[in-house]
Amino acid sequence: MARYSQLGFVDAASPLMEQMIFFHDHAMVVLLLIINFVLYMMIYFTVQKFICRTIYESQFTEFLWTVIPAIILVFLALPSLRLLYMLDEIGDSALTLKCIGHQWYWSYEYSDYSNEVSFDSYMIPTDDLEPGDFRLLEVDNRAVVPYGCNVRVLVTSEDVIHSWSVPSLGVKVDAIPGRLNQMGFYLNYPGVFYGQCSEICGANHSFMPICLEGVDAKSFTAWLNTLEAYQK
């Protein structure tokens, strides 16, 4: 039996992804109504032996089928513009995570602290996976962030164009050499969230996964202190 995630979106782990799913459902309802109405009219006019000429030549009918689609577009455009504004709004962030794309791995930097912490994140080969690990998604060093607070993500690249994408967070940012793009997200709950590079970047494009782990603030501080002590 197919799981729901195979038919729809993955479970939302951020308010942005929740809003994206709500907008998708809203648009699908409108589309289904349009499809059903058009299908009904096509069948109705097909089976009728005689169609009144007033239907084809009525100015009022032409007015309706011009105005009604415009109203429908407004009902689709307003929530869409609101969502686009929310995606671009970053606000005050408690943490800045810098992601640097390489062929074919990711580097992460935490620069908000006195001692800058950085590390590389490579995909774990299939032969080295532990039971329960996900093939092509597990990495040797996960990026760790606290949940329940705003996180700002800075994305760039050192060679070719990559794309840092985590579907459950509703985040997808292009990593472009010489340019720094940014986006924010808010983790609703702890967990491990997976993503992949979403821009074809070479022969091993499918082998540079993204693994983000959300923990509480106390565990994040302890992890950061351990990493700082290890890198000294």
Average pLDDT of span 8-30: 89
* pLDDT reading at 214 higher than 60: yes
Q: How confident is the model at residue 196 (pLDDT cuts 50, 70, 90)?
A: very high
Question: Quick check: 122 and 115 in contact, CB under 8 A?
Answer: no
Could you tell me how far CA 159 lies from the centroid of its own chain? Answer: 23
Share of the chain above pLDDT 70, in %: 91
pLDDT the model gives residue 85: 86
For residues 23-47, give the mean pLDDT: 86
pLDDT grade, residue 49 (50/70/90)? Answer: low
What does the pLDDT read at residue 65? 81
In tens, the pLDDT along 80-121 reads 888 888 888 777 888 899 999 999 999 999 988 767 788 999
Query: How much is the pLDDT for 166?
Result: 93
Of the candidate CATH numbers 3.20.190.10, 1.10.287.90, 1.10.3720.10, 3.40.250.10, the domain formed by 15-88 belongs to: 1.10.287.90
Give the pLDDT score at 156.
94
d(Cα 173, Cα 97) in Å, to the nearest integer? 13
Domain spanning 95-231, CATH class = mainly beta
Q: How far apart are CA 173 and CA 153, in angstroms?
A: 9
Least confident segment among 51-65, 71-85, 213-227: 51-65
Q: What per-residue confidence (pLDDT) applies to 117? A: 87
Confidence bin at 53 (pLDDT 50/70/90): low
Which pLDDT tens digit goes with each residue over 128-160? 888 988 999 999 999 999 998 899 999 999 999
Tell which wins on pLDDT, 4 or 211.
211
pLDDT at 6: 63
- Cα distance between residue 152 and residue 98, in whole Å: 8
Q: Which of 7-21, 34-48, 95-109 has the lowest average pLDDT?
A: 34-48
> At 64, is the pLDDT very low, low, confident or very high (cuts 50, 70, 90)?
confident
Q: Which residues of 102-115 are buried (b: 16+ CB within 10 A; e: fewer)?
A: bbbbbbbebeeeee
User: In the chain, what are the domain boundaries?
Assistant: 15-88, 95-231
HEC string of 14-66? CHHHHHHHHHHHHHHHHHHHHHHHHHHHHHHHHHCCCCCHHHHHCHHHHHHHH
Write the DSSP symbol of residue 123.
Answer: B
The reported pTM is 0.82
Mean pLDDT over residues 184-188, rounded? 91
pLDDT for residue 5 is more than 70: no
